[in-house]
A and B are shown apart, each in its own frame.
Chain A
Amino acid sequence: MSLGDSSSPLGRVRGLGSAHHGGEHWLTERATSIALLLLGTWLIASLLLLPKLDQRTLIEWLRSPSGAVPMALLIIVGFKHALDGVKVVVDDYVHEEGNRFALNLLLLFLAVGGGALALFALARIAFGAIE
């Protein structure tokens, strides 16, 4: 290793791996996974605990802070984790550099676009007029 003996384990892996991004991407993926452990369990538990799953009940739920805030976090963290995860699959199996770059860019646009759309829908529910 060119960095010599003083480098930390994290310092030694920076820039390595098939994506050349070292440990940062890996660490982010773990951090978002732990957040999604909580947020995913929250979503399933909330849906099971709601008295009904009709539109009125769902709107009421998503207008309350205890519904809207975790849902916003679930959208942001969920799309980020999905992007990070699918990128690993692409980096592993798409070996041609141009194709890999194009595919990763497409996935980035998809994730940011999809996340924005979901956040917009949530905002419209949370801040919209009660029908």
Chain B
Amino acid sequence: MSERKIIPFGPQHPVLPEPIHLNLVVEDEKVVEAIPYIGYIHRGLEKLVEKKDFMECVMVAERICGICSFIHGQGYSQVVEEIMGIEVPARGRYLRTIWAELSRLHSHLLWFGLFADAFGFESLFMHCWRLREKILALIEETTGGRVIFGVCRPGGVKRDISPETLNKIVNVLAGMEGELTDIIGTFTADTTVKTRLCGVGVVSAEEMVALGGVGPTMRASGINRDLRQLGYAAYGELDFKPCVATEGDAYARAKVRLLEIFQSIDLIKQAVKQIPDGPIETKVTGMPNGEYFGRLQHPPGEVIYYLTANGTKFSQRMRVRTPTFANLAVLLKTLPGADLADVPILVLAIDPCVSCTER
């Protein structure tokens, strides 16, 4: 009988952009069990809402994540607006939608590059990150920041985008579509990629519901759910259908994200076409008093913002349930039985965002 050994995976590992630790119990080259250990980068950001003015806390929320920061700020703002009964002007909602989709584009391209690197396709990694730079340049031009946008706040948004810049965004994205098609063609047609990803980490739809998986990880198992279907921001006024795959493996998880890249481009084009003129924010007066669970679609999946406030300028509690925490159970299900060489692929397939998870 083979000897069982424990191999520590992380907290520092070449495929991990952020620290998470897994103790992998292996027998020969097969993983038998995976034991997670988290908490390396806890920053106490949820606690800060008890010490900072509720209007300032949007800056805290944006700093929960260094990749999908905008949607954190949007989530916090929308929860405050819901508690206070604030109606955001239509133009503000459309601008939020455009920035949220730019955020998703840069997050998915970043992830796809890292994923390609994990299975040894370095040139694909470089091409993805080269295209991501174009998105970051658009974000910088419209917000002044590349990663921390700083434009969303309760009541609406701080900055407008001129019609010329909106047209420029559409033109840049239209120019990118051809390049993306080439890159994705390489991904979908490459035999080595299929050999590494197809049939790896399969989770059925039924198992996915029990495991509580979210986002593209969940939709790759055939579950047709996306929180943008709730119609928040301007999504209710745009033509939108979730991207779904049915295979439930690592290849399907990548495929769903690749489809979502094109979907985000389409949503931005629709939003630019339909964006109305008018004010971009509503002035916030008074203090929040109440509670609400806000649900939004982050690039890695559903994020929950819970806020409870008692009519003072300091909130009582903010709780953020991030998609990576929800998808951790999926990871722990897929690791036992996997080859040790497939562990980096399975870890990256859930699009782990550890800073978010540890807040």
Q: Report if A and B associate in a common complex.
A: no
